[in-house]
Amino acid sequence: MNQENRTIMTTFKNKSISLGAVALFASTALTGCGEDGPCGPCGIVAEGAVSISGSARLDGFFGAVADLDGAFVSVSADFDANIRGLAAAWDFDIAADAAIDGALVGELMADIRGQISGSISGGISLNYVPPRCSADISLSVDAQASCEVQAGCEVEASPGEVSVSCEGTCSGGCSAECSGAVSCEASVMGGGFACEGTCEGSCALEVAAACDGTCSGTCEGSAGTQEGFEGACDGMCQGTCEMGAGGSCEGECNGSCVVESPSADFNCNGEPPTCRGECGGECSGSCEGTATPPSASVDCDASADCQASASASGSANLTCTPPSLELAFNFNAELAGDINAQAAFRARISELQVRGAAILQGFAQLRGVIGEADANGNFQLAAPLLNIQAELNGIIEGGASGDLFADIPIGRINCVIPAMVESVEILADLGTNAAGTISAQAAFSAEMLSIGG
């Protein structure tokens, strides 16, 4: 258990007398409103109970804890299954009771790299577009509205497009200055267009040029001129260059053109560009970081209290787009004439691409909500987990003064304390258990992304 969790646990224990006194009062004031009374059984945080306390603000926090725990359990199980699936596809033996850790992942990937080297000629190229993760803005907005309704505020029935305050990277519209990169999309530009930045997507090359991705067309390289070529071209490509990871396009970009630090009057065919950096105002797209929703009502005293749990709910439910992972290669002389061997190898490469993409997606999600190891191997907690821990600490402090129970129905008060204890334990376990999974994911990521190097 890390120091912050120890502090929270100690604080909770120190306040338990006053909290227990309030709970005892509630249970005697409303006879039979315990586990089997008319108020029903107390919910369990880890099972995702939606109304433990009867307070939208507090239940939003319990829900965020459950979502964090659920994300870890799901991603960890998927990681284990995908590593074992890769091992089976590449005939690498893993014992049924073996722990999937960084060392085992390293051994598996070393074996896979050896098999790849023995089957191809001229190296292998990797075209990779990393996953993009963002807080669930719609969930934050819904949680904010639900909390304000329960506080007796009158909220708008349909707020329409909602902008949020984004602490991180905004991808979308920005109501003020966008610091960093911006992008123009081919759909806005009316089709393929000249890109003076980094082209993400396909680049149409009417004139032969270097291709940083997968060349489809004619390749003039070390093997001479090859028509109907598909793969990594070590010379000049004429046709289409797929650059999912982004690169320079000397033709027409048919995707997104990303420009770093553009001029103040930069625009996309007369339209404002898409923000790809820090938004000084409100963000109307996705938020890679912490998204704080606006109040859902014109005047609501509970708005600020609701925003903390609503923001936590969105951050805990981080969604990550699947990465694009493509490997291009040429068979060596031994496999060039063996169709069956080629088919078997392509099937293994397909497994590596599909399962590898899933592992990298899960890695991005866990790093985003729980944390990652730094260069010195020390595990650093991520913002969503830290924010929820800080909120827990504030709620416990509120319990000491009696403020915690101000908006909780009396029949649910004696359900709050067990849920608080459970939440502390879940967060403490997350910081410990997730470190091993994330470390193993990091080992896979390093090995996978160096294949094309």
Tokens of 425: 């334990």
Q: What is the pTM of this model?
A: 0.75
What is the pLDDT, as a whole number, of residue 157?
Answer: 57
Domain assignment present for 317: no
Cα gap 79→362, rounded to integer Å = 7
Query: Where is pLDDT greater, at 358 or 314?
Result: 358
What is the pLDDT, as a whole number, of residue 16?
Answer: 37
Beta bridge partners of 168: 289
pLDDT band of residue 153 (cuts 50, 70, 90) is confident
Residues 67-94, mean pLDDT to the nearest whole number: 95
Q: How many residues does the chain have?
A: 453
Query: Where is pLDDT greater, at 453 or 221?
Result: 221
Residues 56-67, mean pLDDT to the nearest whole number: 83
What is the pLDDT, as a whole number, of residue 428?
Answer: 84
pLDDT in tens, 250-266: 999 999 999 998 988 89
| Same-domain status, 138 and 238 | yes
As a dihedral over the C-alpha atoms of residue 251, residue 257, residue 258, residue 261, rounded to 10 degrees, the angle is 80
| Same-domain status, 326 and 288 | no
User: Pick from 265, 298, 331: which residue ends a domain?
Assistant: 298
Measured at the CA of 63, the angle between CA 60 and CA 66, to 5 degrees, comes to: 160
What is the pLDDT, as a whole number, of residue 192?
Answer: 93
Tokens of 394: 């504030």
Cα gap 99→356, rounded to integer Å = 19
| Same-domain status, 269 and 362 | no
Query: Where is pLDDT greater, at 356 or 318?
Result: 356
| Same-domain status, 194 and 74 | no
What is the pLDDT, as a whole number, of residue 375?
Answer: 62
Residues 358-373, mean pLDDT to the nearest whole number: 88
| Same-domain status, 104 and 139 | no
Cα gap 138→293, rounded to integer Å = 9
What is the pLDDT, as a whole number, of residue 115?
Answer: 95
- Mapping DSSP onto H, E and C, the string for 143-168 reads HHHHHHHHCCCCECCCCCCCCEEEEE
Cα gap 208→235, rounded to integer Å = 9
User: Pick from 282, 298, 314: which residue ends a domain?
Assistant: 298
Domain assignment present for 307: no
Query: Where is pLDDT greater, at 34 or 316?
Result: 316
Q: What does pLDDT average to over the chain?
A: 82
CA dist list (Å): 120 to 204, 228, 239, 287, 342: 28, 20, 25, 41, 10
Cα gap 422→252, rounded to integer Å = 56
CA dist list (Å): 139 to 51, 60, 111: 16, 11, 43
Domain assignment present for 234: yes
| Same-domain status, 291 and 328 | no
pLDDT band of residue 350 (cuts 50, 70, 90) is very high
Domain assignment present for 154: no
Domain assignment present for 305: no
DSSP string, 310-367: HHHHHHHS-EEPPPEEEEEEEE-HHHHT-HHHHHHHHHHHHHHHHHHHHHHHHHHHHH
Tokens of 153: 């505020």
How many separate domains does the chain show? 2
Domain assignment present for 308: no
| Same-domain status, 38 and 99 | yes
| Same-domain status, 264 and 189 | yes
What is the pLDDT, as a whole number, of residue 341?
Answer: 95
What is the pLDDT, as a whole number, of residue 396?
Answer: 72
| Same-domain status, 238 and 281 | yes
Domain assignment present for 221: yes
pLDDT in tens, 74-83: 999 999 999 9
User: Pick from 263, 298, 333: which residue ends a domain?
Assistant: 298
| Same-domain status, 140 and 272 | yes
Residues of the chain with pLDDT > 90: what percent?
Answer: 36
What is the pLDDT, as a whole number, of residue 1?
Answer: 42
Any idea which of 3-17, 102-116, 168-182, 408-422 has the lowest mean pLDDT? 3-17
| Same-domain status, 284 and 426 | no
Answer for the pair 241, 202: CB distance below 8 angstroms, yes or no.
yes
Cα gap 341→333, rounded to integer Å = 12
| Same-domain status, 327 and 289 | no
Domain assignment present for 365: yes
φ/ψ (deg, to 5) at 210: -65, 145
What is the pLDDT, as a whole number, of residue 373?
Answer: 66
pLDDT of 279 above 80: yes
Which residues constitute the domain of residue 176?
134-146+160-298
